[in-house]
Amino acid sequence: MAKRLQILVIGHNDNGCTPEHEKVAYEVGFEIAKSDCVLITGGLGGVMKAACHGSHDANGLAIGIIPQNDPSFANEYCDVVIPTGIGLTRDFLNALSADGIIIVGGGSGTLSEICAAYMYKKPMVAIRGTGGVAEKYVDDYIDHRKNVKIIGVDSPKDAVKTILDLITA
């Protein structure tokens, strides 16, 4: 059996996550599950919870890599919880566990994951109109090295299609 592709969804935690972010993230998680890919998130609230919820509703597999050492911190839609106990350093685990990344809004924690993915040249897409760091870096590079361009898309369906195209190119 071939390894299933693993897609990381990142964005606002409970703080800063709007109902629109939740709707977009839910649809992204749903589309990832429909594509028979594995969803990876940071396992907590906001965009992470909404994406896991979408995956759950589409009978997908959602993995939450949480910063705490207690699995009870994970949202209820995680099928697999990896309690790292390493705090924010887990952002690197999230990025390195993924074949590609989808960004929905986000703040400094999301930026940390983007930077980790950027250094390892992971393909990334950002959904336009979701604000935060997704909006700041959409269709651009993080720095002068131009490791990987963050591709802008307009919908959850386009996000999953585009990231799959980038991963399998």
pLDDT tens, 33-76? 999 999 999 999 999 999 999 999 999 999 999 999 999 999 99
Q: Under CATH, which architecture does the 6-168 domain have?
A: 3-Layer(aba) Sandwich (3.40)
For the chain, what percent of residues have pLDDT higher than 70?
100
123 within 8 A of 100, measured Cβ to Cβ: yes
Whole-prediction pTM:
0.97
Q: How far apart are the first and last CA of the chain?
A: 21
pLDDT at 152: 98
State yes or no: pLDDT of 2 exceeds 90: no
State yes or no: pLDDT of 1 exceeds 90: no
Tell me how far apart the alpha carbons of residues 129 and 44 are, in angstroms, rounded to a whole number.
23
pLDDT, tens digit, for every residue of 74-133? Answer: 999 999 999 999 999 999 999 999 999 999 999 999 999 999 999 999 999 999 999 999
84 within 8 A of 90, measured Cβ to Cβ: yes
**Domain residue spans of the chain:** 6-168
